[in-house]
Amino acid sequence: MAKDGNKDGWKEFIWNPRTRELFGRTASSWGLIFLFYLAFYIFLAGFFSVTIYVMLLTLDDNKPTYQDRLAIPGMMIRPTGKELEIIYTKEDTESWDSHVQALNSFLSSYNDTVQEQNNVACTPDQYFFQEDSDKVKNTPKRSCQFRRSILDECSGTTDRFYGYSDGRPCILIKLNRVISTLPGKNGLAPAVSCGPKGDDSDKFGEVAYFPPNGTFNLMYFPYYGKKAQ
């Protein structure tokens, strides 16, 4: 009998036909609870959305708010080899063909026609500043033309093998982009100087630079960032 009483008690708690209560609450009570939580979660969603919107208003589309991880641009070479060493045999075309293809791919966006169409003919030997004025943003930022033809013998237009076929390989040097960096010192562009490694001086021939002055022209600085995709 006790078990039957407990069973009847549970049934009555789940649904009481006399008071018309479900789990101890009437329909109006459940309705008020539902409306409370509905209003509560709508408020939370609205508050969260407004917070995100206000935060996004403070962000710049082209550069991060905090830039303390990379202050000095790193130098890289193209093509790249294992541990930055390019080893090949000039008589074996397969040993250097991948380097030629890598240079072709890297320089394709620097074709003169592409640069003339997409970028600006800047004044050499001076920074290309594009600062915002008051509340007017100077956007989108523009880039100065870098025509591959200025690389002369290393442009791939006069020698499609970039010197690899005759033992005078071209190695392109690039700087990583760091926002707002002004690398020049006393108005002089940063220069590149190459030399032998360790005891390889007897194997190291004369180095030719293209452009001839071997510098990164100041007109390519500063970098203002790129809009996040």
**Which tens digit of pLDDT belongs to each residue from 45-66?**
999 999 999 988 888 777 777 7
How is residue 101 written in tokens? Answer: 């293809």
Please check whether residue 220 is in contact with residue 121, taking contact to mean a CB–CB distance below 8 angstroms.
Answer: no
pLDDT at 227: 73
Eight-state DSSP code of residue 154: G
User: Which helix or strand (DSSP H or E) is residue 107 part of?
Assistant: helix 93-107
- C-alpha–C-alpha distance, residues 131 and 40, integer Å: 45
- Side chain identity, residue 2: A
- Residue 87: per-residue pLDDT: 87
Please give the helix or strand (H or E) that residue 116 lies within, else none.
helix 112-118
- Neighbour count for residue 115 (Cβ, 10 Å): 19
In the chain, what are the domain boundaries? 2-57, 75-220
- According to DSSP, residue 169 is labeled -
Average predicted confidence (pLDDT) for the chain: 86
Q: What is the pLDDT of residue 8?
A: 63
**Mean pLDDT calculated for residue range 136-148:** 88
CATH code, residues 75-220: 2.60.40.1660
Of the candidates 194, 218, 197, 196, the one whose C-alpha atom is nearest the C-alpha of residue 208 is 194
Task: Give the least confident one: 5-9, 76-80, 137-141.
Answer: 5-9
Q: Report pLDDT for 2.
A: 46
Mode of pairing for the β-strands spanning 21-22 and 75-78:
unpaired
Calculated CA dihedral for residues 44, 48, 50, 53, nearest 10 degrees:
-160
pTM flag (> 0.75): no
Write down the pLDDT at residue 1.
46
Q: How far apart are CA 2 and CA 24, in angstroms?
A: 22
Confidence of residue 4 (pLDDT cuts 50, 70, 90): low
pLDDT digits (tens, 9 = 90+) for 147-190: 999 999 999 999 999 999 999 999 999 998 888 889 888 888 99
Give pLDDT tens digits for 118-135.
999 999 999 999 988 777
pLDDT at 67: 72
What is the model's pLDDT at position 168? 93
Tell me the average pLDDT across 29-35. Answer: 89
Burial (CB count within 10 angstroms: exposed 0-12, middle 13-18, buried 19+), residue 79: buried
